[in-house]
Amino acid sequence: MGHFTKVKPGDKVRLDKVDPDFHEGLSKRDAVVKERTDAAHKEMRGLQERLYAECGQSLLVVLQALDTGGKDGTIKHVMRGLNPAGVCVRGFKAPTSEELAHDFLWRVHPYVPAKGHITVFNRSHYEDVLVVRVHELVPEEIWRRRYDQINEFEELLAETGTHILKIYLHISKDEQKERLQARLDNPDKHWKFSAADLKERALWDDYTEAFEEALTRCSTKRAPWHIIPANRKWYRNMIVAELLAETLRNMDPQFPEPDFDPAEIVID
């Protein structure tokens, strides 16, 4: 299993103490990288089939990162090969007027995974203690209460059979600059670039502070945060795939016992 930081409940997170460029001294071309990634994908496929057949528990994967952190790329590369009948990806952008007319968890709760399924949140309910905090969209006394509300929400999910894997993709400010420039240099990536990205980049320190508090306040025994070094996309993908495989392995889904005796069945 590769390197990541699992935040222990009660530990204070300092992102400047976590190296976003860590890669175990490996190279993208090393045979072991492909071997480990392929092994994780193979295990994930087998365990997902058992999870889907068992239909007794579910997995919610929460992906958070700063802009260009690699959420889309992680989903594309790590979730490949899984049965789409049992996997759903849900993105959360700026809330609609209808969503704003409800409590902040209202828009995410309908999309948590059904039993037997895996759901990936591309951004999530954590936006309401991140962008909402940085841009002062609600008073501080409101967003500060949300840490406990989030923990209680996730505890409810855990108690009712949903396992929660929370992943923060950690990149450096220099890496973000390179990725934004790459979007400008490639016409096929212009659609991913917005002038608003530069305004958000100017708030790097504010977002870092917001993420550090969210990772600190909302890493619980049942739903801990995992900080993944994400400067190198190939390493990020390998580690996330291994972490997903480990999570599913620990869930230990089983094929259900048949309600008939196969030996007594005769097909004419």
How high is the pLDDT of residue 61?
98
Contacts of 236 (CB under 8 A, 6+ apart): 70, 73, 74, 169, 228, 229, 230
Beta bridge partners of 162: 58
How high is the pLDDT of residue 173?
97
What's the CATH code, domain 5-251? 3.40.50.300
Phi-psi region of 161 (alpha: psi -120 to 50; beta: other; left: phi over 0): left
Sign of torsion, CA 191 196 199 201?
A: negative
Q: What is the CA radius of gyration of the chain?
A: 20
Nearest C-alpha neighbor of 182 from the set 123, 233, 235? 233
The tokens for 191 are: 């659609």
Enumerate residue ranges in the chain where pLDDT < 70. 1-2
What are the helix (H) ranges across the chain? 31-54, 71-78, 97-100, 131-134, 140-159, 173-185, 195-201, 204-217, 233-251
Relative to beta strand 225-229, strand 5-6 is antiparallel
Nearest C-alpha neighbor of 130 from the set 192, 77, 69? 69
In this structure, what are the phi and psi dihedrals at residue 89, rounded to the nearest 5 degrees? -115, 130
pTM for the complete prediction? Answer: 0.95
CB-CB contact of 170 with 229 (8 Å): yes
Contacts of 130 (CB under 8 A, 6+ apart): 64, 207, 210, 211, 214
The tokens for 105 are: 């968890």
How high is the pLDDT of residue 1?
47
Question: Rounded distance, CA 262 to CA 134, Å?
Answer: 60
Question: Rounded distance, CA 228 to CA 171, Å?
Answer: 9
The tokens for 140 are: 């501080």
pLDDT tens track for 145-203: 999 999 999 999 999 999 999 999 999 999 999 999 999 999 999 998 988 889 999 99
Question: Rounded distance, CA 251 to CA 60, Å?
Answer: 12
DSSP class of residue 187?
G
The tokens for 157 are: 């999910």
How high is the pLDDT of residue 259?
86
pLDDT tens track for 59-75: 999 999 999 999 999 99
Beta bridge partners of 97: none
